[in-house]
A and B are shown apart, each in its own frame.
Chain A
Amino acid sequence: MRVKVKGKPVALRGDEAVAEAMRQINPDVVAAYPITPQTEIVQTFGQFVANGQVDTEFVAVESEHASMSGCIGAAASGARAQTATSGPGLALMWEMLWVASGMRLPIVMHVVNRALSAPINITCDHNDSMGARDCGWVQLYAGTMQEAYDNAIQAVRIAEHPEVMLPVMSCMDGFILGHTFEPIEILPDETVKEFIGTYKPKHSLLDVEHPVTYGSVVFHECYYEYKRQQIAAMEKAADVVLQVGQEFGDLTGRYYGLIEGYELEDADFAIVAIGSIGGTIKKVINDLRGQGQKVGLLRLRCFRPFPAQEVAQALGNKRAVAVLDRSLSFGAQAHQLQMEVAYALLTHGPIPKMVNYVYGIGGRDLLPSEIEGVYRDLMEVAETGIVPPGVRYLSVRQ
């Protein structure tokens, strides 16, 4: 049993905390677009490069499409490659996201969640990474700044696991976590170095003794098999997320799973959500528990792969469940998270009453009083047994 490592408490902004993780990871290559919608992650990391605090080859590229292309080239050459992006920058990468996952390159990308244009909006929602949910990347979402830092480190191990070999997006809420100045615990450099280990690629373009081809043409004869293998790797990633989260916990005292439950086990009424809203929901839970209300939270940490069994197990016995989406699928019956949760419950049952809510689009704030209102709605749903049809849009003028 290892002795737990004590970190150093420091006051940082969320973006700086992730840049700090990148400094400690010391990637071989970072290819990034340095201008808006980029965040302070790349600005701060760029300073580390300029100061000689990392060995990273920093490639300032002309677009996010190029930054992902740069990471793909570097990773195929056997390098540990990372980048960071946000909102429309992630959207511009879309084509290359499929290339990265299809080539099974363990790139880690730090995503600061922001809304997509139009209208132009640089504040938080999840439409950017939700728009990339089907691209074959593992997706982790941080609930706190500490978790954003911790996830950035764990993402390396998850991506590079021999049975996974998939790219990972480590996401955190723009502004709400990215720009907030808070105390967090930073691990010693040596601890991070040891935890992530050295990356030894099985195949590398630079290994001339063992030549390989990346990105060849593959039609109907076996393209489908490539994709089937990616699906299998994604399923395996769930176990690896758990293993790495356990190992990280043994080291630091901070354990991470696929989901986080808060006052969930004995709760009658549960909210399911992603990201920093989890903290505000916890505050409301503390208040309502003080009044004797049995309310709880299920926060998704890992959205891809979707932990269906864990979610169904945690929610099956609830009287009513609210699923809070911070992203939109126009014309869908319900939005992204709700659809996943509903199918998880449908296939694993039993099925509680469910209501889908949308909140926080384009940075719209959600107040504790409005979250309390969601729990009151759930109590009414359980009381009457009636789930009104349609999605409820919180805190919007209509």
Chain B
Amino acid sequence: MSAEKLVEIRWHGRGGQGAVTASEILAEAAWEEGRYFQAFPDYGGERMGAPIRAYTRISDSYILQHSQIVNPDAVAVLDTTLFSLMDVTEGLKDDGALVVNTSESPADIRKALKLDKARVYTVDASRIAVDTLGRDIPNTPMIGAIVKATGVVSREGVLRTIRERLGTRLGKTMAEANAKAVERAFDETQQG
């Protein structure tokens, strides 16, 4: 997918899980690789627990359009309780990637969503977050899973961005823990 000119990703999460931050970190990782980006949330009124959608648009050339993303190349779902509220695969390209934070297998997810298109990836991002960060904030491991599923940026690139961006904001220890979470997600993501 990295050879494509424009890559569009939709993030589904709940307020507090870090979907908006994830959309921005991925964008910055692409920027570090000399590409253009936009990252934007669907709604500004973010409340703890409320369903959130965020988007990342990455391109080799300057991005002119500011319209919404309706046919994403990849969808990241940070919380499977959203399945009953909305169709998280809406508009997902037939050859797109669905990446889900769950302890279940890709086959289980495919069955639960009655999905016969797209590639399905699963990773227990919440487990990884608890192990590495001490809290269930699944956004950074989900970045790792999205990178694994799409190849939209390099593994090294995203790790560097995590260390730099989170290092400034959260300090070196937390940045390293987040980098570790990304690495684990990258290794543990399953495809089916």
Contacts and interface: CB of A to CB of B under 8 A. Distances in A.
Say whether A associates with B.
yes
A177 interface: yes
A183 B37 contact: yes
Contact of B40 (A122, A175, A286, A367): A175
B44 A180 contact: no
Contact of A277 (B23, B36, B66): B66
Nearest to B36: A183
Nearest to A367: B67
Nearest to B40: A180
Interface of A: 11, 122-123, 173, 175-177, 179-183, 276-277, 279-280, 282-283, 286, 365-368
B67 A175 contact: no
Contacts of B68: 365, 367
A365 B64 contact: no
Given A122-B44, A279-B64, A180 B31 contact: no
A176 B64 CA distance: 12
Contacts of A181: 23-24, 27, 37-40
Contact of B67 (A182, A280, A286): A280
B45 interface: yes
Contacts of B66: 173, 176-177, 180, 276-277, 279-280
Given A180-B39, A181-B39, A367 B64 contact: no
Contact of A175 (B27, B31, B39, B44): B44
Interface of B: 23-24, 27-28, 31, 36-41, 44-45, 63-68, 70
Contacts of A176: 40, 66
B65 A280 contact: yes
Contacts of A283: 64-65
B31 A183 contact: yes
Given A11-B28, A279-B63, A366-B67, 16 more contacts: A11-B31, A122-B45, A173-B66, A175-B40, A177-B66, A180-B38, A180-B66, A181-B23, A181-B37, A182-B37, A182-B39, A276-B66, A279-B65, A280-B65, A283-B64, A367-B67
Contacts of A367: 67-68, 70
Most buried by B among A11, A122, A367: A11
A175 B37 CA distance: 16
26 contacts: A11-B28, A11-B31, A122-B44, A123-B44, A173-B66, A175-B44, A176-B40, A176-B66, A179-B40, A179-B44, A181-B23, A181-B24, A181-B38, A181-B39, A182-B38, A182-B63, A277-B66, A279-B64, A280-B66, A282-B65, A365-B67, A365-B68, A366-B67, A367-B68, A367-B70, A368-B67
A283 B65 CA distance: 6
Nearest to B24: A181
A282 B27 contact: no
Contacts of B44: 122-123, 175, 179
Contact of B27 (A11, A279, A286): A11
A361 B9 CA distance: 25
A283 to B, nearest CB: 4
A363 to B, nearest CB: 9
Contacts of A276: 66
- The B contact surface, by secondary structure, is mixed
Contacts of A175: 40, 44
Contacts of B23: 181
Contacts of B27: 11, 181
Contacts of B38: 180-182
B24 to A, nearest CB: 5
Most buried by A among B36, B40, B45, B70: B40
Contacts of A279: 63-66
A283 B44 CA distance: 26
Contact of B64 (A173, A177, A282): A282
A179 B41 contact: yes
Nearest to A178: B44
Contacts of A180: 38-40, 66
Contacts of A123: 44
B68 to A, nearest CB: 4
Contacts of B39: 180-182
Contacts of B40: 175-176, 179-181
A342 to B, nearest CB: 27
B30 to A, nearest CB: 10
A360 to B, nearest CB: 10
A249 B187 CA distance: 49
Nearest to A366: B67
A131 to B, nearest CB: 21
Most buried by B among A179, A181, A183, A365: A181
Most buried by A among B28, B45, B63, B66: B66
A179 B55 CA distance: 11
B64 A280 contact: yes
A122 B42 CA distance: 12
B73 to A, nearest CB: 16
Contacts of B41: 179
> Shortest 3 CB-CB distances between A and B: which pairs?
A181-B39, A180-B40, A280-B65
A367 B69 CA distance: 9
B64 A286 contact: yes
A368 B68 CA distance: 10
A300 B9 CA distance: 31
B79 to A, nearest CB: 22
